Amino acid sequence: RVLEDGALLENQRAQWQEQATGSLFNKRARVLSRSRAKSLTKVAGGGTLCSSHLDFEY
């Protein structure tokens, strides 16, 4: 019985660790996505990053 409980706890611990790792990466992805969305909004709003002001001579 004790060995069964130990195996069950090991399994649960592995699942929790996997879930925690996934949520950490999800948080990082949200941060990157949010900052990218902000920079794209700045570009669309006439910010300094807009490439439509470039002049190409041939």
Distance between CA atoms of residues 25 and 31, nearest Å: 10
Whole-number pLDDT of residue 51? 52
Alpha carbon distance 47, 51 (integer Å): 10
Q: pTM for this structure?
A: 0.38
pLDDT number for residue 36:
73
H or E stretch at 5: helix 2-44
For the chain, give the percent of residues with pLDDT over 70: 55
Residue 1 corresponds to which amino acid?
R
The position carrying tokens 């900052």 is 35
pLDDT in tens, 14-27: 998 887 766 666 77
Average pLDDT per 10 consecutive residues for the chain, totaling 58 residues: 89 86 69 73 58 55
Residue with token string 């001579």: 57
pLDDT > 90: what percent of the chain? Answer: 14
Q: Please tell me the distance from the alpha carbon of residue 3 to that of residue 8, in angstroms, as a whole number.
A: 9
Query: Which sequence spans correspond to the domains of the chain?
Result: 2-46
